[in-house]
Homo-oligomer: A and B are copies of this chain.
Amino acid sequence: MTGDTTHPPRTTYHHGDLRRALLVAAEAELIERGIEGFTLRGVARRAGVSHAAPAHHFKDTAAMLTALAATAAQRLKAAMSRRREAAPDDPRSRFVASGTGYIDFALENPALFTLLFGSGRPDSDDPDLVRHAGAAFADLVEAIAAISGKDPLADAEGRLDVAAAWSLVHGAASLLVAGRMKPLRPAADADREAWLQRLVGRIVPG
């Protein structure tokens, strides 16, 4: 779409915006090769720089994947928000919207979702990553609070509500992304939206 930061073998010695270009290249690399085949040198090649250039912007491969994961978390929250804003204005619908938004993100960005949750490679203590992931989590908690009328994190019952909701949504996203849900999912694309909503609807608290 937009990110053509790449191939024309640049004329200037210095790149100018390499850090951003590397993140774009890294996402493309992740999508094409998967997390298992992801390679620092491949990212550098794709960005048109030497294999050692990334070291000036990312301490090592893990740092680069961590930065990418942080943007992924940000987009996860955005996907949830998009769904919520388009939903009817009752608490139940808004909760289901948050959950389906989570799954939307996973299905639209399987590689990023896997990076974020299904691989130990990003540094899960990174402040940026923690901040953005925490914001997405807070969205879910807030959706539950709007139903129960109290802070779910305050008591054990509420925390169980949150754990159950997150588990169902996250489990569905993971299994769908891994392709293990095939026999259970409607064959026709048209039926999938309703299916998704009914699935998430099963775990509405209360």
Task: Show the binding face of A for B, using Cβ within 8 Å.
Answer: 34-36, 114, 117-121, 153, 156, 159-160, 162-164, 166-175, 178, 181, 183-186, 195, 198-199, 202-203
Contact = CB atoms under 8 A, between A and B. Distances in A.
B203 A202 contact: yes
B203 A153 contact: no
Tell me whether chain A's interface is mostly helix, strand or loop, or mixed. helix
A117 B174 contact: yes
Contacts of A202: 160, 164, 203
A199 B205 CA distance: 12
A185 to B, nearest CB: 7
A167 B162 CA distance: 15
Contact of A198 (B160, B171, B184, B198): B160
Given A119-B36, A153-B183, A203-B203, A167 B163 contact: no
A164 B168 contact: yes
Nearest to A159: B184
A199 B167 contact: yes
Given A160-B184, A167-B175, 8 more contacts: A114-B120, A118-B174, A119-B119, A160-B199, A166-B175, A167-B169, A202-B203, A203-B203
Contacts of A118: 118-119, 174
Nearest to A202: B164
A181 B171 CA distance: 13
B178 A172 contact: no
A166 B159 contact: no
A171 B166 contact: yes
Given A36-B121, A118-B118, A170 B163 contact: no
